[in-house]
Structure 1
Amino acid sequence: MRRGLVHAVAWLLATGAAVTLSWWGVHTVMAGTAYDPPRALPVAGPASPLASSTHRPEPSPSPSSAPASAPPSRPSASASASADAPRRTATGAPPPASSPGTASSGTVKSYATAGGRAVFDLGDTSATLVSATPGAGWTVQVWKQTTWIRVEFTSGTDTVSVFCTWHDHEPSVQVADY
């Protein structure tokens, strides 16, 4: 019994030491790695959802179902206050708008390539990368400098680069397929 207990304690100590050493090694390697946080554009939407899977909006009465003797309704104070609200498009969603916390400096343009899609926010004097999404089987790598951004999609020996430059000129984008 005592011999089994000694073996169990020795195994626990060895296992604990191995796990600790492994965790420390991985932690040390990963601590030196820098990751860019993901960036997302704000989604401007209505204050309340239009519909959800658990709540359906009540159908509006059609003009033919309204009583014939009912006088036409006048806009209420709340209806006239909503005249300043954003107008909805044909899809029912309000037009996109920048929130005060975003720095949308210009036009957001998407560039689809064989390797994936690169999206840039092109301003008058600079540009920012919004997203770089590789296609299936492709990888993406991004380089950023003060006057240019390069997005490179790679799959085996195939390479597609998207260059955005703005040194002494408005931002321009070129796609190169190698």
Structure 2
Amino acid sequence: MRRGLVHVLAWLFATGAAVTLSWWGVHTVLAGTAYDPPRALPLAVGEATTQESRPLPSAPGRPSPTRPPSPSSTPTPSSTAITSATPTPSTAPSSSPSSTASDKVRGYDTDGGRVVFELGRTSASLVSATPGPGWSMQTWKTETWIRVEFTSGADRVSVFCTWHDGPPRVEIGTY
């Protein structure tokens, strides 16, 4: 009996020492690292993407999103409320290494989510677009405009950034 107890105690001690040493090694390696949040990927010209915000497991299921318009369709705002957007300053870094000092990164908060654009003198680029909980998102990009549309059931919020006839301007439409 005594011999079995000594073996169990030796096994417990060795296992405890191995776990402690492993934890200390992993902790030491990870303590010196910094977490960088993921960056948005640039969209190709004319490319359409769809992204959905996932509700929490405890949230009730949401209805399936309606079929989005085709990427080749030209946006026609039939909105009941189109407003000129007032940007909120954003501290996000420039997504393009060739940006100039005149480029400005601006964020726009809507009911459907948040959109961040990098606005230059004669063009703009989409930095990120994040749908809110329960909203889905689709983006379109051409050489002269970018459209981000958030959808939740029958509710739609579109953020348009155009620069075809002057400097970039952003409009938010709710319909």
Larger strand proportion of the pair: 2
Larger helix proportion of the pair: 1
Name which structure has the greater RCO, CA cutoff 8 Å, separation 6+: 2
State TM-score, norm by structure 1: 0.45
Q: Which has the larger radius of gyration?
A: 1
